[in-house]
Structure 1
Amino acid sequence: MEHVSNSATLVATRKRSLVPEKWEDQVRAIGISEYKEAALSLAQAFATDELAQYLLDAEDVTEGDETKWRLHVDIFNYIVASHCYKGIVTTIGPDYEAVALWMPPGKDSDDWLTILRSGMWRLYYQLSAEGRRRYYSELLPVLHQTKHEVMGDRDDDCYYLVYLGTKPSGQRRGYGRKLIDHMAAKADAEGRAMYLESSSVKNNGYYKKFGFEVKRDRQ
C-alpha cells in the first residue's frame, strides 16, 4: 500500500535586518559623520582606565561623577574627531563595539586647524588647573618623547595605534584582534613598523601576540 504524507515542510529563514551583514565581522574605516558614535564606544571601553581617571580625579576637581563622565566623553569626542580629520579611525561590529584610532606615517593632529575643527581647544578650559598640568605638561610630553626615543629614525615612518578599545558589550569576540590585523596587513605591505602605548601592564601579553615588543616601561 502506498502512503502519501500531507505534512507541511518547515523551512527556517533568516529574518532580514537593517544592520549591514558585513558590519558584524568586517573592519571598516569611518569618517567625521560617525565620530560621536565611535567616541562613545571608546569612552565606555576606557571608563575604568586608570590613566583616564588620573586626568579627571585631580585634587582640585569638585564636580561629581556625572560631570566627570560627560567630560570623559567630550575628551574622546575631540580625539576621535581629530583622527577622522588627520588620521584613520576603524571600527567593527554593528554598534561600534570596537574602535581603533591610527595616525599614519608622517601625520599628526597637532596643527591649529585640526585642533579647532575637532574641538580639542575646548579641553584646555574644561579641565581643572591640575588636570591641565597633568595633560599638557605631563602626559603629552611623555608620550611624544617616549615614541621618539623608542622609534628613533622610524618615528615618522610608522603606523601609530593611539587608541584601541572594545566596549563591554563587544568583548570576547575577537574584535580587537581584527582591528590590529587589518592595519598590520597594510603596514607589512608597505614595510613599515607599528607603534603603540599601553596604559595597562596586563595588556602587554595581549599585544605580544601580534609581534609587538615592550621597549620602554614607564611605571
Structure 2
Amino acid sequence: MATTTIAVQQQQGQHPEKPALSLANAASKTNLLSVHHTGKNVSTYSAGKGSKPDGVRVLALHEWKQAALSLAEAFQHDEVAMYLVNTPDRAHWTPEQKWALHLRIMEFVTYAHLLKGLVVAVGPNYDCVQLWMPPGKNMDDYLTLFRSGMWRLNYLLSAEGKQRFFTEFLPLLHTTKHAVMGARDDDSWYLVYLGTRPSGRGKGYARKGLEFVLSRADEEGRAAYLESSNVVNREFYGRLGFVMRESIQLTRGEVPVTMEIMVREPVKGEVKRG
C-alpha cells in the first residue's frame, strides 16, 4: 500500500508486555477469536539472517520492533489505519499521543503475524514490510492474543475506537472475506499489511516481496486476497494479477472510509515446482 511518511532510525526493544493469566477475562471481551479453525497443511518458511537472491528476507521474532516501526511510519496517514485512533473522543489528544497508540497497534499486529503468520521485509532498513497470513493459519487463539499484546486494545482504544474496531472493522473484514472467497476462505493467502517507507519507494521492494509469496501461492495453486486502503494501489496490484472484486466502507466516522477488495487467482506454468 502506498505511504506518505518519513523514515526514522530503527531502535531495538523488548517484545510487548505479557499479561498475567488472571487477565484472560479481558481477552474474552475483545471478540478477537474467530469462529473457525482449520487443520489443513500449509507452507512454512524459516526465518533467518540471510536474504533471498531477490533481497527478500523472512523476519524472525526478535525483529518485531523494527518491522512494526516501519509499518507505523508507512501507515501514519492512512485513513483505515488511523480510523481507530482519530476518533471524536480522542480529539483532545496530541499528535504524539496518537502516534504512540498507532505504533502500539502496529507492534501488536506485527508480533502476532511473526508468531502465526509470515512477515517479510525487503531493503536494507526494513524499507518494505509485508504481513501475510498463510492458508490454514490465523492469529485468533488465546495464546497469540496474549503474547502479541492484542488483548491490550480493549484498554488502549477509546470507547469509540473499540466500537469501530470490535463491532465494525473486524466483523466487516471477516464477513467480506468469507463472502468473496467462499469455500477458499481458509485456503488462500491473505495479505494483511504491505507498507513501504518513503525512502524505499521506487526501488521495486514491494513488488519483490509480493512476488516472493505469490510464487509460492502459484506453486500451491492457491489464490491471494487483500484489502487496499488507497485507490492508487489498484493499478499496481493489477499488474501482479489482482482483480478488484468489490469495495466496502467504514461508516462510523464523519466521512466514509473505503477499502477495495482484490483477489489474485493462481497462475499456472510460470513457476517451477519443487
The TM-score, its normalising length taken from structure 2, stands at 0.71
Q: Could you tell me which residue of structure 2 aligns to residue 169 of structure 1?
A: 199
Q: Could you tell me which residue of structure 2 aligns to residue 26 of structure 1?
A: 55
User: Is residue 161–residue 195 contact of structure 1 (8 Å, CA) maintained in 2?
Assistant: yes
Distance 1:185 1:137, change over 3 A: same
- Match of 1:163, SS state, is strand
User: Is residue 24–residue 92 contact of structure 1 (8 Å, CA) maintained in 2?
Assistant: no
Q: Tell me which of 111, 129, 136 is aligned to 1:81.
A: 111
Instruction: Summarize the alignment of residues 61-100 of structure 1 with structure 2, pairs less than 5 Å apart.
Output: 61=90, 62-100=92-130
- Match of 1:213, SS state, is strand
State how far apart, in whole Å, the 1-side matches of 2:230 and 2:181 are. 20
Aligned-residue offset at 1:101: 0.3
Aligned-CA RMSD value: 1.5
State how far apart, in whole Å, the 2-side matches of 1:23 and 1:129 are. 44
Q: Could you tell me which residue of structure 2 aligns to residue 13 of structure 1?
A: none
Q: Could you tell me which residue of structure 1 aligns to residue 220 of structure 2?
A: 190
Q: Tell me which of 64, 70, 75 is aligned to 1:46.
A: 75
Q: Could you tell me which residue of structure 1 aligns to residue 255 of structure 2?
A: none
Larger Rg computed on CA atoms: 1
**Matched residues, number:** 200
User: Is residue 42–residue 99 contact of structure 1 (8 Å, CA) maintained in 2?
Assistant: yes
Spell out, residue by residue over 1:105-134, the C-alpha distance to the aligned partner (whole angstroms, 9 max, x if none). Answer: 011111111010001111110110000101
Which residue identity lines up with residue 53 of structure 1 in the other structure?
M
State how far apart, in whole Å, the 1-side matches of 2:133 and 2:231 are. 23
Q: Which one has the bigger helix percentage?
A: 1
Which residue identity lines up with residue 114 of structure 2 in the other structure?
C
Which residue identity lines up with residue 67 of structure 2 in the other structure?
A
Aligned-residue offset at 1:25: 5.0
Q: Could you tell me which residue of structure 1 aligns to residue 9 of structure 2?
A: none
User: Is residue 23–residue 92 contact of structure 1 (8 Å, CA) maintained in 2?
Assistant: no
Which 4+ runs in 1 deviate beyond 4 A? 20-25
Which residue identity lines up with residue 86 of structure 1 in the other structure?
K
Q: Tell me which of 140, 162, 171 is aligned to 1:132.
A: 162
Which residue identity lines up with residue 126 of structure 1 in the other structure?
L
What percentage of aligned pairs have identical amino acids? 51
User: Is residue 51–residue 57 contact of structure 2 (8 Å, CA) maintained in 1?
Assistant: no
In structure 2, runs of 5+ residues without a counterpart are 1-48, 249-257, 259-274
Q: Could you tell me which residue of structure 1 aligns to residue 65 of structure 2?
A: 36
Aligned-residue offset at 1:24: 9.7
Q: Could you tell me which residue of structure 1 aligns to residue 210 of structure 2?
A: 180
The TM-score, its normalising length taken from structure 1, stands at 0.88
Which residue identity lines up with residue 143 of structure 1 in the other structure?
L
